[in-house]
Chains A and B, each alone.
Chain A
């Protein structure tokens, strides 16, 4: 019994079929609780007023935008090293979700930025590196679409993901060097555990962060299952054409 068993598409489909309803319901519940709590049952911030409530979408989506790329990096590595097809398909399935999360983070940031900073967009290091991350997602997805042979597409996109990760990190530090930012530092540092957010805001925020993460798991399972089925359908079609 090892984790690699679930690289077998049949086993993966059985397990993910069982997990999918649970994760979907869990994501719906957590997001509802976190967002409704955050939107309606928290006090306004003394400086930012009610605009602070955007944080319940902005921070979770920004967190997921980065973590989805990390997940794609891991699955790409698994594909390159162990050649498990499900892994490559999971990376393919995750990319559009990550792109949407990046877009949501940028859009909510712009909406929040206008009343707070007086501008929708500033060439701040954090904003800029998210824009670059968005471009990386675009390129990655375009590459999947452009290559016809499926295994070659998986190979090329995996290499692209590895190189992209290195350069995304480099860009992050390069932009920090390049311009001083408007964006505040993180309020929820995971490493040190010293929060600058009060519990009143933090608990619903934490719930919606977990909710977004579970939502991503549910979506990625669903999309990977679709990809596996599409692959099976292509095989069946090819077989039919061969026999006809």
Chain B
């Protein structure tokens, strides 16, 4: 499992440029928003939590397809599925690799973009924290979408339709943490909800993803 994790990390960083792509997308999105809504600092400050969270969610979506598609095309996924490792474990490791290469850079970059969007100063800690505990849920839920659409011809388009509604609860709680912190309210309640959501998703989603992968591999 450790070997698989290292392999996925190396592939993500060295091959194909998928690593920086999500981050660049996040940056571009945060640049475009002020052009769309105007440069007034107070407007930007009020929408910054939502924009940052939606941006994190969309840039996570960009790289989801790569979790399984490349391995499916060259047959490595079939080998992994027939290896002694449980498929659930493989899914979990691949989600972790996805989070390390997509979610974690987003967490690190988010405060910088918050600066661009005039995020209130007391929100930075909560922004970091909410993304840190929320983005793992994005990765495991996204891995489920990737597992469902593996081997489909129009998978890339379908994955956004399937995954984005599943992201709704995470987005609500995540953005709410930052918004409440910005207004000087107690943000711990939505933060706990977010943490619970992430833990639940991490516990359950690998099983659903593995079931979807088994069905998909059997059918192709």
Binding site for B on A (CB under 8 A): 132, 135-136, 138-139, 142-143, 146-147, 149, 151-152, 155-156, 159-160, 162-164, 166-167, 170-171, 174-175, 177-178
Q: B161 contacts which of A138, A159, A163 (Cβ < 8 Å)?
A: A138
Q: A167 contacts which of B169, B211, B212 (Cβ < 8 Å)?
A: B169
Give complex CA distance A162, B215 in Å.
15
Give complex CA distance A183, B10 in Å.
51
CB-CB under 8 A from A138, the residues of chain B are 161
21 contacts between A and B (CB under 8 A): A135-B165, A138-B161, A139-B161, A139-B162, A142-B158, A147-B152, A149-B220, A151-B219, A155-B211, A155-B212, A155-B218, A156-B215, A159-B148, A160-B212, A166-B204, A167-B165, A170-B169, A171-B168, A174-B172, A174-B193, A175-B168
Give complex CA distance A152, B152 in Å.
11
- List 10 additional A-B contacts (Cβ < 8 Å) besides A170-B168, A174-B172: A143-B162, A146-B153, A146-B158, A155-B218, A156-B212, A159-B215, A163-B205, A167-B168, A171-B165, A178-B176
CB-CB under 8 A from A156, the residues of chain B are 148, 212, 215-216
The answer to the question of B208 belonging to the interface, with a C-beta cut-off of 8 Å to chain A, is: yes
The answer to the question of B2 belonging to the interface, with a C-beta cut-off of 8 Å to chain A, is: no
Q: B170 → chain A, closest Cβ, in Å?
A: 9
Binding site for A on B (CB under 8 A): 144, 148-149, 152-155, 158, 161-162, 164-166, 168-169, 172-173, 176, 190, 193, 197, 204-205, 208, 211-212, 215-216, 218-220
Q: B210 → chain A, closest Cβ, in Å?
A: 10
Q: Is the CB of A167 within 8 A of B166?
A: yes
Q: Ordered nearest first, which 5 A-B pairs have the shortest CB separation? A: A152-B219, A155-B215, A174-B169, A149-B219, A170-B169
Q: Is the CB of B173 within 8 A of A143?
A: no
Give complex CA distance A47, B97 in Å.
59
CB-CB under 8 A from A147, the residues of chain B are 152, 219
Beyond A162-B208, A167-B165, whether A174 also contacts B219 by CB under 8 A is no
Closest residue on chain A to residue B149 by CB atoms: A146
Give complex CA distance A160, B168 in Å.
16
Q: Is the CB of A160 within 8 A of B173?
A: no
Beyond A155-B215, A156-B212, A160-B148, whether A142 also contacts B172 by CB under 8 A is no
Beyond A139-B162, A142-B161, A147-B219, whether A159 also contacts B172 by CB under 8 A is no
Closest residue on chain B to residue A167 by CB atoms: B166
Give complex CA distance A162, B205 in Å.
11
Closest residue on chain A to residue B208 by CB atoms: A163
Q: Is the CB of B216 within 8 A of A152?
A: yes
Closest residue on chain B to residue A169 by CB atoms: B169
CB-CB under 8 A from A159, the residues of chain B are 148, 208, 211-212, 215
Q: B142 → chain A, closest Cβ, in Å?
A: 12
CB-CB under 8 A from B197, the residues of chain A are 170
Q: B96 → chain A, closest Cβ, in Å?
A: 20
Give complex CA distance A166, B197 in Å.
11
Q: B168 contacts which of A139, A155, A163, A174 (Cβ < 8 Å)?
A: A174
CB-CB under 8 A from B169, the residues of chain A are 167, 170-171, 174
Beyond A146-B158, A155-B215, whether A132 also contacts B152 by CB under 8 A is no
CB-CB under 8 A from B172, the residues of chain A are 171, 174-175, 177-178
Beyond A139-B162, A159-B211, whether A132 also contacts B190 by CB under 8 A is no
Closest residue on chain A to residue B141 by CB atoms: A167
Give complex CA distance A152, B151 in Å.
11
Give complex CA distance A152, B197 in Å.
29
Q: Is the CB of A132 within 8 A of B219?
A: no
Max chain B C-beta neighbours (<10 A), residue from A142, A152, A162, A164: A152
Give complex CA distance A43, B209 in Å.
54
Give complex CA distance A149, B219 in Å.
6
Q: Is the CB of A174 within 8 A of B173?
A: yes
Q: Is the CB of B165 within 8 A of A139?
A: yes
Q: Is the CB of A146 within 8 A of B154?
A: yes
Q: A38 → chain B, closest Cβ, in Å?
A: 33
Give complex CA distance A9, B166 in Å.
34
CB-CB under 8 A from A171, the residues of chain B are 165, 168-169, 172
Max chain B C-beta neighbours (<10 A), residue from A139, A149, A175: A139
CB-CB under 8 A from A177, the residues of chain B are 172-173, 176, 190, 193
